[in-house]
């Protein structure tokens, strides 16, 4: 402990020395995050505007493969190091279920599936692998885990969170942060981000960025505990949320950011804005509230640099606030060892998507599956059945099975490199007795069993809100997918339904119709893990991380284990899962 304290003291002394040398422009630069494309007039902006961090997100790729990604970020790092003070860059990415922006990386089940595993050791392993594959592609900072407590499944980000249970979320938060960060000086680890602070999943009607009308006591009892755990585990950053509370945007909520998180909870890391947080939520009010790093993207950069400088010069933003923000940025750069080792490690490239990593992801898939119905013990299936028909486009499409934040921000509707589809997994185990009926129009009434794979198409953020401005999703299956099930039930074929979704859906009728029904969530790249359980190589272990609704009316109020209206009884309670 004494050694750690001594190391912290040395870091603070180094920060003091560096801060004393910095101009206002250099300080504001350290508070600035840009994309490696579009936001820069050219790469030299990194040096001339003293940029502190770079984000990779939807848009042009850094290159054609990990070596080119590393080379791109090395070039930007060299520009940062060429400045008068030579302060290195942080490189951030939304690695929310593996290094999901890189095609060929290991993609884990989304957090809702990890919540169903109840396996903290497994979540920590998944986080360690995510850190390795993120570092291998040039990143030192990941914007995960999401530790929201979803209040209503109409929210389009339910799958990013572990559970509606505060207690389970606390346990898995600790595992995730520990796995991602480990020893920050180790080149296999990255800085984690607990997000989104606070109330993002508890908005009225589940609206992304809406109003969270909980009382202060409810926030502290239900939503805050995972953040307390994250801070206790030394999380390097926290991201502000898009929602508002008491009518005030969280980005500008000084009482919760500065007074609670930073002062009362003693969080000493970086408070980072979400997308365009400065221009969206009050400009310098965001800085005064305690946000330290701004995502100055999509045209915000010059407006932000000039606006913050003007705010300091006018006295609206104190120099003490600026120094606190820069101190927090520099502290994490020292903790990560970036001043000594600023460049990516090329030896990690060979670790991307390796079998050892995929084996852990496949284990996560197996343990995430929740068996909701198993009439007459139809599962596990016999491997020597004469004819198995696999139904539905989700069965043969790794993009559809993986959900949003997979290769693209909004996910993909196509197969991607390195992934195994559910169909391929079934074929591998069941041999040549499998036929595929993509749209349930085939004449397969003679099949011994139909495995019908239905679910949601990928979405992210507000695009997945139910009843929101985009309004592309329902809380039920589409009519087409309901018909997939009915077509085979009506043929008299024994029917096993796999639901691929980022949240519980109202499927009461479909559960009644089927012989077996499995909540498979969004399994990621290792679809064969599903077949391993269906055919009995492994047992079902998953338990519901959310209560399961029986009707659409259940969603009209607020919803979850701590939020249930006494008049609402779920179809399946939180924690349900057959063996």
Taking residue 26's Cβ as centre, other Cβ atoms within 10 Å add up to: 19
Specify whether the CB–CB gap between 270 and 328 falls below 8 A.
yes
DSSP 334-386: HHTTTTT--S--GGGGGGTT-HHHHHHHHHHHHHH-EEEEEGGG-PSPPTT-S
Q: In whole angstroms, what is the distance from residue 289 CA to residue 278 CA? A: 11
- Nearest residue to 201 (alpha-carbon basis) of 519, 560, 565, 571: 560
CA 65 to chain centroid: 23
Task: Phi first, then psi: give them for residue 369, nearest 5 degrees.
Answer: -70, 130
Specify whether the CB–CB gap between 277 and 294 falls below 8 A.
yes
Q: Running DSSP on this structure, what letter comes out for residue 212?
A: E
Q: In whole angstroms, what is the distance from residue 308 CA to residue 288 CA? A: 10
DSSP 35-86: ESSSSSSSTTHHHHTT--EEEE-SSS-S-SSHHHHHHHHHHHHHHHHTSSS-
146 three-state secondary structure: strand
Q: In whole angstroms, what is the distance from residue 167 CA to residue 248 CA? A: 28
Residues classed as catalytic:
274, 461
Which regions of 210-263 does DSSP assign to beta strands (E)? 211-212, 237-240, 244-245, 248-249
Beta bridge pairs of residue 451: 390, 496
Q: In whole angstroms, what is the distance from residue 339 CA to residue 426 CA? A: 49
Specify whether the CB–CB gap between 112 and 502 falls below 8 A.
yes
> Helices 120-136 and 166-181 meet at what angle, rounded to 10?
40
Beta bridge pairs of residue 188: none
Task: Phi first, then psi: give them for residue 513, nearest 5 degrees.
Answer: -70, -40
Q: In whole angstroms, what is the distance from residue 449 CA to residue 439 CA? A: 16
How many CA atoms are closer than 13 Å to the CA of 486, on its beta-carbon side?
A: 9
- Torsion sign across C-alpha atoms 83, 290, 209, 574: positive
Residue 211: CB partners within 8 Å, gap ≥ 6?
203, 204, 243, 244, 245, 247
Strands 244-245 and 248-249: antiparallel
Specify whether the CB–CB gap between 460 and 410 falls below 8 A.
yes
Taking residue 564's Cβ as centre, other Cβ atoms within 10 Å add up to: 18
My answer on whether omega of the bond before 145 falls inside 30° of 0, hence cis, is yes
């Amino acid at each position: 402990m004494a050694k750690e304290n001594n190391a912290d003291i040395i870091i603070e002394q180094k920060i003091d020395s560096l801060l004393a040398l910095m101009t206002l422009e250099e300080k504001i630069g350290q508070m600035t995050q840009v994309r490696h494309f579009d936001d820069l007039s050219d790469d030299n902006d990194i040096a001339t505007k003293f940029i502190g961090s770079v984000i990779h997100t939807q848009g042009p790729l850094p290159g054609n493969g990990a070596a080119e990604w590393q080379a791109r970020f090395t070039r930007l790092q060299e520009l940062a190091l060429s400045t008068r003070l030579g302060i290195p860059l942080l490189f951030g990415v939304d690695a929310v279920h593996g290094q999901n922006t890189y095609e060929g990386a290991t993609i884990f089940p989304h957090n809702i599936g990890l919540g169903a595993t109840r396996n903290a050791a497994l979540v920590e392993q998944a986080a360690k692998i995510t850190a390795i594959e993120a570092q291998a592609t040039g990143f030192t900072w990941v914007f995960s885990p999401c530790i929201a407590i979803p209040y209503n499944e109409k929210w389009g980000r339910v799958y990013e969170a572990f559970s509606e249970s505060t207690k389970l979320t606390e346990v898995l938060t600790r595992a995730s942060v520990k796995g991602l960060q480990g020893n920050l000086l180790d080149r296999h680890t990255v800085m984690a981000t607990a997000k989104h602070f606070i109330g993002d999943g508890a908005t009225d009607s589940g609206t992304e960025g809406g109003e969270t009308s909980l009382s202060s006591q409810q926030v502290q009892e239900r939503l805050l505990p995972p953040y307390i755990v994250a801070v206790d585990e030394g999380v390097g950053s926290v991201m502000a949320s898009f929602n508002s509370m008491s009518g005030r945007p969280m980005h500008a909520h000084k009482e919760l950011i500065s007074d609670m998180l930073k002062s009362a909870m003693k969080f000493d890391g970086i408070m980072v804005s979400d997308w365009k947080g400065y221009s969206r939520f009050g400009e310098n009010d965001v800085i005064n509230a305690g946000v330290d790093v701004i995502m100055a993207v999509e045209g915000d950069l010059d407006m932000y640099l000039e606006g913050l400088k003007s705010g300091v010069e006018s006295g609206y933003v104190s120099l003490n606030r600026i120094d606190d923000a820069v101190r927090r940025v520099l502290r994490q750069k020292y903790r990560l060892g970036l001043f000594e080792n600023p460049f990516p490690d090329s030896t990690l490239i060979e670790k991307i998507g390796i079998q050892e990593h995929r084996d852990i992801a496949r284990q996560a898939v197996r343990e995430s599956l929740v068996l909701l119905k198993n009439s007459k013990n139809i599962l596990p299936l016999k491997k020597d059945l004469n004819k198995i028909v696999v139904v539905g486009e989700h069965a043969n499409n790794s993009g559809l099975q993986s959900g949003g934040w997979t290769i693209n921000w909004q996910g993909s509707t196509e197969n991607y490199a390195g992934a195994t589809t559910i169909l391929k997994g079934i074929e591998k185990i069941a041999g040549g007795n499998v036929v595929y009926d993509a749209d349930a129009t085939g004449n397969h009434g003679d099949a011994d069993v139909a495995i019908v794979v239905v679910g949601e198409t990928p979405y992210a953020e507000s695009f997945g809100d139910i009843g929101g401005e985009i309004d592309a999703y329902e809380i039920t299956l589409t009519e087409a997918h309901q018909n997939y099930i009915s077509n085979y039930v009506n043929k008299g074929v024994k029917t096993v339904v796999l639901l691929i979704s980022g949240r519980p859906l109202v499927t009461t009728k479909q559960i009644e119709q089927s012989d077996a029904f499995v909540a498979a969530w969004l399994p990621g790249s290792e679809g064969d893990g599903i077949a391993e359980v269906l055919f009995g190589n492994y047992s079902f272990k998953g338990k519901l991380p959310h209560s399961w609704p029986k009707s659409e009316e259940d969603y009209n109020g607020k919803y979850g284990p701590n939020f249930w209206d006494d008049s609402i009884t779920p179809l399946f309670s939180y924690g349900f899962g057959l063996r």
